[in-house]
Amino acid sequence: MITTFDNYDLSKRNTFAMKVKCSVFMEYTEANDIPFILSSIRKDVKSIHIGAGSNLLFTNDFPGVVLHSAIKGIEIVDETQNSLIVRAGSGETMDDLIRWTCDRNLWGLENLSGIPGEVGASAVQNVGAYGTEACDAIVTVHAFDRVTNEFISIDRKYCAYGYRDSIFKKPDSKDRYIINSVDYRLSPISAPRISYPALRDMFDKNIISELHPHDVRKAVITTRDSKLPAPDRVPSAGSFFKNPIVSQSLFEKICENENDVNIPHYMTESGYKIPAAWLIDRCGWKGHKEGNVAVWHLQPLVIVNPESKASPSEVINLEKKIIESVYERFGVNLHPEVEHI
Q: Which residues are catalytic?
A: 164, 239, 337
Closer Cβ to ligand EPU, 67 or 338, answer by number: 338
Closest contact distance (angstroms) between CB of 144 and ligand EPU is 27
Q: What are the angstrom distances between the C-alpha of 90 and each of 109, 137, 157, 163, 231?
A: 16, 15, 19, 21, 20
Q: Which residues bind ligand EPU (CB under 6 A)?
A: 129-130, 227-228, 238-239, 242-243, 264, 275, 277-278, 281, 286, 299-301, 337
- The CB-nearest residue to ligand EPU is 238
Inter-CA distances, 19 with 220, 233, 280, Å? 31, 16, 27
Q: Rank residues 53 and 275 by Cβ distance to ligand EPU and give the closer one.
A: 275
CA gap 220, 207 in Å, rounded: 17
Cβ closest to ligand EPU, residue 86 vs residue 283: 283
- Cβ-based nearer residue to ligand EPU, 13 or 224: 224
Q: What's the closest the beta carbon of residue 265 comes to ligand EPU, in angstroms? A: 9
Backbone angles phi, psi at 125, to 5 degrees: -85, -15
CB of 274 to ligand EPU, least distance (A): 9
Task: Please say which residue, 91 or 117, places its beta carbon nearer to ligand EPU.
Answer: 117
Which of 22, 112 has the CB closer to ligand EPU?
A: 112
CB of 92 to ligand EPU, least distance (A): 19
* Shortest CB 56 distance to ligand EPU, Å: 12
Query: What minimum distance in Å lies between the beta carbon of 284 and ligand EPU?
Result: 11
